[in-house]
Structure 1
Amino acid sequence: MNTKSGRAARPHGDATRQQLLDVAGQVFAEKGYADATSKEICTRAGTNIAAVNYHFGGRDPLYEAVLVEAHQHLVTLEEMQHAAAMDGTPLEKLRVILGGIVRRATSRDAHWGTRVVIRELLSPTAFAPTLVHRAIEPKARVMLGIVAQVLGLAPDNPGVQRGLFLLMAPCLALLVAPRGLRKDVFPALGDDTDGLVEDMLAYVEAGLSAIARRHGPQNR
């Protein structure tokens, strides 16, 4: 009897935890970390105020979980690992990854995760290291491996890190650009997502080729 109760309680508990996470993400996206309260999150989620402490240990650990979940909605580590392991050239692997990020960044129905990440990047809280180390860093390691293959350089070469940072900069610009800027000033950024990805890849390929020449064996 107790076993059955335990089995039934776990899915319900998992569902409550996910509900809190989703609602908290929406509230943090709307109000930011400083102005979002556990009371409002629980009220919107239809749970008892103690639920935040029970499932996450408090508002701060909840926000940390939201940051990691938010970055997952831009691109998951599993997506990157799958792309890195697929057959094809390093540039084709970059196309898959960049394509997914660009489509999410330019979507008309942006997930709350995009706004949470933007808020944290533009106005970092004390929890920014959580975003960096738990969400960004594992994915950066995968990307560094792909970029090293594109450049034909060792992964620890400074050009690899700089190349990765520079190729991701346009994705960051898409995330932070106001929708009105993309709609009214640069409509080509949203009207043809596939075309944007291909132009971005051409831009990235040319830039990485220049970095490869600069850091290649002939310049050592």
Structure 2
Amino acid sequence: MDDEAGKSATRAHLIGIAIDCFGLAGPDGISTRELARRAGRPMSAITYHFGGKDGLYLAAARHIAAQLGMWLGAALDEAGAVCGDDGDAAAARAALRTFLNAAVGIMTRPETEVFARFIIREQSDPTEAFNVLYEGFMERVLDRVTALLARASGGALDPLDARVRAVTLFGQILVFRIARAAVLRATGWSDIGPAEQQVIGRIALDQLDAILDRIVQGEAA
């Protein structure tokens, strides 16, 4: 392994350990020394690669934002292929269904568990890292879903209403990640795998259609 590859591997290893540790303990709940011990690296490695624990925390946030941004961005691109900027209401609804169905699979996959703990801490007690997360993937998702909702409603939703509904629609998927223990207890599931994802996706799409049907019918009335 050459020097640059070795440095990259060390950075990736430290970030992976940091995401798990920070998600469990928060940035103030674990020391640089303990992070280094759990990573099996000297403390100087954290200073060298990230400038210290704060830099490592932000690097962890950037990694999460990049990974979720890539996964959810692919889902948004898939939805964009269904409905571009000039699509009609029916196409916008189809694009929303495409995106939500893909998002169910993304947000319930096992590798998002450690990300969720980190993100939940930033939601309850935001730091500079929250801006990294929001601008890295949340903003793009909410902007796109908001625009699709406004179009799918046939113009019946004002901008704020569309924005709040976008948060609500995405939130109904996030609950299966951030409240996973409660979901498993309530459903009797032992895990959330492909079969369970199908159930979640079907119901999420049913709810989307019910919401849009009510909005459109209300406008027509």
Is the contact between residue 152 and residue 212 of structure 1 (CA under 8 Å) also seen in structure 2?
Answer: yes
Is 1:57 paired with 2:51?
yes
- For these two proteins, the number of residue pairs brought into alignment is 209
Q: Deviations over 1:57-111 (max 9, x none)?
A: 3222322232243355556353244223323633343334323432344446653
Is the contact between residue 114 and residue 175 of structure 1 (CA under 8 Å) also seen in structure 2?
Answer: yes
Is the contact between residue 116 and residue 177 of structure 2 (CA under 8 Å) also seen in structure 1?
Answer: yes
Q: What is the match of residue 165 of structure 2?
A: 163
| 1:157 aligned partner, one-letter code | P
| 1:87 aligned partner, one-letter code | V
The TM-score, its normalising length taken from structure 1, stands at 0.76
The DSSP-based 3-state class of the residue aligned with 1:152 is coil
User: Closer, same or farther in 2 for the Cα pair 1:178/1:199, shift >3 Å?
Assistant: closer
The TM-score, its normalising length taken from structure 2, stands at 0.76
| 1:14 aligned partner, one-letter code | S
| 1:204 aligned partner, one-letter code | L
Q: Deviations over 1:148-198 (max 9, x none)?
A: 33223399722321221221221232233251x222222379463212211
Q: Percent identity?
A: 22
User: Closer, same or farther in 2 for the Cα pair 1:78/1:173, shift >3 Å?
Assistant: closer
For 1:131 and 1:85, the matched residues in 2 are separated by 22
Is the contact between residue 142 and residue 163 of structure 2 (CA under 8 Å) also seen in structure 1?
Answer: no
Q: Alignment partner for residue 47 of structure 1, among 24, 41, 52?
A: 41
Is the contact between residue 15 and residue 56 of structure 2 (CA under 8 Å) also seen in structure 1?
Answer: yes
Q: Alignment partner for residue 74 of structure 2, among 59, 76, 79?
A: 79
The 5 A counterparts of 1:28-43 are: 28-43=22-37
| 2:201 aligned partner, one-letter code | V
The DSSP-based 3-state class of the residue aligned with 1:170 is helix
| 1:185 aligned partner, one-letter code | A
For 1:31 and 1:8, the matched residues in 2 are separated by 34
Is 1:95 paired with 2:89?
no
Worse overlay, 46-55 or 151-160? 151-160
**Alpha-carbon deviation of 1:24?**
0.5
Is the contact between residue 145 and residue 166 of structure 2 (CA under 8 Å) also seen in structure 1?
Answer: yes
| 2:80 aligned partner, one-letter code | A
| 2:54 aligned partner, one-letter code | D
Structure 1 unaligned spans of 5+: 1-6
